Amino acid sequence: MLKKNLAAIVVFLILLIDQVVKIYIKTHFRLGEEVRVFDWFIIHFTENNGMAFGMEFGGKAGKYFLSIFRIIAVAAIGFYINKLARQEETPRGVIVGFAMIMAGAMGNILDSMFYGLVFTESYFDVAHLVSWGEGYAPFLQGRVVDMLWFPMVEGSYPDWLFGGKSFLFFSPVFNIADSAITCGIVYMMIFQRHFFKEEEK
């Protein structure tokens, strides 16, 4: 029970922070508006129809497929967390890692499911809440809100490599849900490898 509660707390806190930040950005920034916090950290409001870090996937049909896939994946992760939580030998860190991944996936699912139904467009003015179903897109077709941008290193490749084209690291704009998924996966790979080796045995 304690491990289930731990998972629930992690999911709730990440979802809360993710949605509060997204709704604030959505209702206070126009699309493309940005605030430079540091030279290497910019709050930049953008939206995407696809996967993490602004990647796209197959138009409207791809959006439906991706949303349904995410819902199934979240259900599977939730089932697996429940199974692991029943086992005494499961480390708390494993529960936390999976809960982070689950919360991140849920955060972006909520955008896709509901933002199009309850928000106006953000192109020319900040979005505002409207009556259910009067927003900019139907169910599962809402766009994911991104705002975190870390353009830390900017430069150019040598002429003999990519023809001297310029590069920017790190160029994708992402959100807290994306961060939770990435951090959860990296954390599990680095600190919980022994658990998966034992599971294989």
What amino acid occupies position 52?
A
Q: Which of 39, 125, 159, 178 is catalytic?
A: 178
Order of strands across the sheet with 144-149? 34-38, 41-48, 144-149, 173-174
Is 39 assigned a catalytic role? Answer: no
In contact, 118 and 22? CB cutoff 8 Å: no
111, 125, 146, 159: the active-site residue: 146
Name residue 36's beta-bridge partners.
Answer: 42
Q: Is 111 a catalytic residue?
A: no
Give me the residue label for tokens 């979240």. 74
Distance CA 83, CA 92 (A): 13
Residues whose CB is less than 8 angstroms from the CB of residue 32 and which lie 6 or more positions away in sequence, other chains included: 44, 45, 46
Length reported for the chain: 201
Burial of 195 (0-12, 13-18, 19+ CB in 10 A): middle
Q: Determine the Cα–Cα distance for residues 33 and 184; give it in Å rounded to an integer.
A: 29
- What are the tokens at 130? 């409207």
Q: What is the set of active-site residues?
A: 146, 178
